[in-house]
Amino acid sequence: MKFLLIITCSIFITSCQYNPHADKFLTVEPNVSEVVGIYELQEAYVDMVNPSLNDRILSTSPKPIITLRADGTATLKQFPFFEELDTGFDYAFKGFEDINAHWKISAVGSVSFGADDTKTVYGVLFTLPDGGVLFDSPTLTGNTTVDGLIFTLYDGDQGQILGYQKSKLPNNTQ
């Protein structure tokens, strides 16, 4: 009986550490010029907040865009804004907002695909004008170079994200 309990607990513990988007996370530290650019919203998996919200976010016009400039400033247009509720790990959709912020590259966690291969995951820390931060750890995506940005809601293993794809360099990035 003890053996069965140990196996069950082990399965539960390891299953809670799986993020379905972890294979997309950037594990090579980028430089600023690799991160600078325009990111367009391509994925919205936020049905835990509201079952019809994915389609609403993806069909909004104009499309949500994030511009990261080399001087460390960022503009988030039509950003799907969520407020974390006091109950913790629960969110309310507040609408689409235009946000100005500062950004910097940051280590946002680690990922392991087994054995002893734990790697640092890199993301972007957005600081708002009031000193607050936007989400806990927006994660950069890509194998060896930046190709996108993921904002995670809830616990990462639930797969609730806003996924942005890097498109092109803005004219005013320098």
* Structure confidence at residue 108 as a pLDDT band (50, 70, 90): confident
Sequence-separated (6 or more) residues with CB below 8 Å from residue 21? 139, 141, 150, 152, 156, 159, 161, 163
What's the whole-number average pLDDT of the chain?
81
pLDDT at 139 over 70: yes
CA distance 139 to 128: 17
- Per-residue DSSP letter, 149: E
Q: What is the pTM of this model?
A: 0.81
Average pLDDT over residues 134-144: 86
Span 140-152, average pLDDT = 92
Burial of 129 (0-12, 13-18, 19+ CB in 10 A): exposed
Mean pLDDT of 34-50: 90
171 vs 66 pLDDT, higher one:
66
pLDDT digits (tens, 9 = 90+) for 4-27: 333 333 333 333 455 655 667 888
**pLDDT value of residue 172:** 47
Confidence (pLDDT) at 137: 72
Greater confidence (88 vs 96) lies with 96
